[in-house]
Each structure stands twice: as C-alpha cells, then as structure tokens.
C-alpha cells in the first residue's frame, strides 16, 4: 500500500507538471500569433510617404535627359576618334612616302626637284592640319561631356539631399510607430502577467492549481521572452524595471512567508504535546515516518548507536529511536491498545492488527 501511495504521488506530480507545461505551451503559441497580428493596429510608415515625388520626378527626368545627351556626345566623340585615327594613318603614310622621296632625291642630287619638295611638304602639312582640326573638335566634345557629367552630379546631390530629408522624417515616424506598437503589445501582455502572478499567489494550493500554474508560466514567458523581438531600444528598460519590481515583491513575499512559518513553528512548540499531537495530519505523518523526522519540530528522530549508553545497546531496532522527540517532547511511537505492537503514533491504524490508533496520538499513551 505504501509503495502504491508513493507511485500515485509521483504519477500525480508528473501529470500536474505535464498539464501545466502543455497548457503554457499552447497559450504561448496562441499569444505569439496574436502579438504578430497586433502590427495591423497601426500603419507602418515608409520612406516613400515622406518624399516630394514631384520634385524627385523632375530631377530624375533631368538626369534622363542628361544621360541621353552624354550618350549622343559620346557617340560623336567616338566618331571623331575614329576619324582622327584615320587622319593619323594618312599622315603617317604620307610622311613615310615623303621621307622616302627625300632620301631618293639626296641620292640622285637633282636640284630641279626643289619645287617638288615644297609641294610635298605642304601636302604633308595639310594632312597634319586635318588631324589637328579633328583633335580640336574632340576636345570640344570632351568639354561638353564633362559639363554634362558635372550637371548630372549636381542633380544627383539634389536627389540625395531630398532622400536624406525623407529618411530623417521616416525614422522619426518609425520611432513613434515602434512606441505605439510596443505599448499596444504591452497593454496586451501586461494584464496577462498581473493575472498570472495573481493566480500563483491566490490559487497555488487550489485543487486545479496545475491549470493556474500553467497560466503563470505562460504569463512569465509572454512578458520576459515573448516581447523581446518587439522591444524598441528603450523597451528593455520596461522589461528590466518590471523584473526588478517582481524580484523585490517575490523576495519580500518569500522572506515574510518564511519568517511567519518560523514564528508559527516556534509558537506551536510552546503548545502542549497533547495539543500538537492532535493537529498532526496523516499525510505529514507519512512523510515524517518515511524521512524519520518529527512531524512537529522537523528534527531527525533517529538515534545513532553511539548515542546510547553501552549497557542499553541490543539488537532491538526500536532502540534506535525513542518514544518521544528529544527536541520538542512530542510522542512519536506508542503501543497499540489492541495488540500491544509499537506503531508510529500519528498514523491511523496499527501495522500489526489493523486496529484504529487515533487515540494513541495523545502523548503519554
């Protein structure tokens, strides 16, 4: 029977914890969906909402026109470069021909060829002049392209300034949006945390305490972990401040409860052993016997063999304990009135004959 009682107690504890964990898990999943949907309670700002679209459209049109002009100038520049290359080739060929002709003339030494030299030199100069003219046109086109590029850069700067101004306004509104959404989520999660603490304080000994404990676990997770992805830069202060308040409150409650328990136990020990024996509950008596401690003062009632005088030591196992607690005087073991068997005085039945032993709880029997 004792084995079944322990097994039932362990099973009940496992079932209770399982119920609390499963309930907390599904409440967490549900709250995550609700918190995600709370985004729709406020309209999220976008950069485009703060831009001057008309001004940007005009600037972009100017950029497009300049790009077209640059492409046309670049095409003309490319044509001029090809023309210069051809003129350069013609000049080179003509100069090589002139140099060969002059070398031949020197070899033959024909003085009547002076006019021919002048004529060929003039022709060579004309080829060179053509190349120079085209190079002048190339420089003009390059200057025009440079001017267009500078104009394009100025317009790009205007677009950048407009975009920067829009982003500045966007970040201002984004902070307001984040604060608004955070407060909405806090208004949703805050009461849940308060309710969870209330359930824990008020109903932790209720017969349906696993359900209340599961809700308490969910409330703690929802506040301290569920809000983490949504906290703005200043949201952490709220979480830490609540954590400090809860720590102080729980610490104060725990210290107060422990002190009250100690004072209560001290007051109980001042009551007569007969009265204390009447107030010992059966479940406390079972745990006391199993863990060999006094159900009134909580001290260990086992006595080591070396604590006995040598003349009193024998093989009787009951000699390892006394009938009364050495610390508070409460009766621990008494003889059954029916069969005389020694029993733990605070259990309801005799372990030998099964007779009721309720009367044996009174000290001195």
- For residues 213 and 250, membership in a common domain is answered with no
Helix, strand, or coil (residue 262): helix
CB atoms within 10 A of CB 239: 16
What's the pLDDT tens digit per position in 275-308? 666 556 666 777 777 777 788 777 777 776 655 5
- For residues 278 and 266, membership in a common domain is answered with no
User: What's the confidence (pLDDT) of residue 178?
Assistant: 79
- For residues 252 and 315, membership in a common domain is answered with no
- For residues 162 and 246, membership in a common domain is answered with no
- For residues 355 and 304, membership in a common domain is answered with yes
User: What's the confidence (pLDDT) of residue 231?
Assistant: 61
Beta pairing partners, 331: 324
Give all strands (DSSP E) within 55-202, no chain letters.
none
Torsion-angle region of residue 364: left (phi > 0), alpha (psi -120 to 50) or beta?
left
- For residues 97 and 213, membership in a common domain is answered with yes
Residue at which a domain ends, from 200, 228, 256: 228
- For residues 103 and 221, membership in a common domain is answered with yes
- For residues 285 and 353, membership in a common domain is answered with yes
Beta pairing partners, 344: 333
What's the pLDDT tens digit per position in 303-360? 766 555 545 545 444 456 777 887 777 787 888 877 878 877 777 788 778 777 754 4
Contact 159, 58 (CB under 8 A): no
pLDDT at 60 over 60: yes
Query: Which domain covers residue 182, as residue numbers?
Result: 1-228
Read off the CATH number of the domain in which 222 is found: 1.10.287
- For residues 256 and 216, membership in a common domain is answered with no
- For residues 220 and 252, membership in a common domain is answered with no
Beta pairing partners, 293: 300
- For residues 254 and 111, membership in a common domain is answered with no
Q: How many domains does the chain have?
A: 3
- For residues 56 and 188, membership in a common domain is answered with yes
């Amino acid at each position: 029977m004792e084995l079944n009682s322990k097994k039932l107690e362990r099973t009940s504890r496992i079932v209770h914890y399982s119920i609390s964990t499963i309930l907390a898990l599904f409440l967490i999943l549900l709250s995550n969906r609700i918190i995600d949907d709370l985004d729709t309670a406020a309209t999220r700002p976008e950069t485009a909402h703060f831009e001057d679209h008309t001004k940007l459209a005009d600037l972009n049109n100017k950029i497009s026109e300049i790009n077209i002009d640059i492409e046309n100038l670049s095409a003309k520049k490319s044509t001029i470069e090809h023309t210069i290359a051809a003129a350069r080739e013609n000049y080179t060929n003509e100069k090589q021909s002139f140099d060969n002709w002059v070398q031949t003339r020197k070899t033959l030494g024909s003085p009547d060829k002076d006019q021919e030299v002048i004529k060929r030199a003039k022709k060579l100069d004309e080829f060179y002049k053509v190349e120079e003219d085209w190079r002048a046109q190339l420089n003009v086109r390059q200057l025009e392209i440079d001017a267009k590029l500078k104009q394009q850069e100025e317009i790009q700067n205007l677009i950048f300034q407009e975009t920067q101004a829009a982003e500045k306004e966007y970040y201002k509104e984004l902070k307001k949006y984040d604060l608004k959404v955070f407060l909405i989520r806090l208004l949703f999660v805050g009461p849940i945390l308060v309710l969870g603490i209330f359930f824990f304080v008020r109903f932790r000994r209720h017969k349906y305490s696993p359900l209340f404990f599961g809700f308490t676990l969910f409330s703690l997770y929802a506040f301290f972990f569920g809000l983490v992805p949504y906290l703005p830069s200043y949201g952490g202060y709220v979480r830490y401040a609540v954590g400090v308040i809860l720590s102080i409150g729980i610490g104060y409650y725990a210290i107060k409860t422990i002190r009250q328990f100690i004072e209560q136990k001290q007051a109980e020990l001042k009551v007569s052993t007969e009265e204390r024996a009447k107030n010992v509950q059966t479940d406390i008596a079972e745990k006391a016997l199993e863990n060999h401690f006094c159900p009134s003062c909580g001290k260990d009632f086992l006595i080591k063999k070396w604590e006995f005088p040598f003349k009193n030591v024998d093989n009787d196992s009951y000699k390892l304990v006394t009938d009364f607690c050495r610390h508070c005087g409460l009766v621990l073991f008494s003889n059954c009135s029916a069969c005389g068997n020694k029993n733990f005085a605070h259990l309801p039945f005799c372990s030998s004959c099964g007779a009721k032993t309720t009367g044996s709880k009174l000290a001195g029997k």
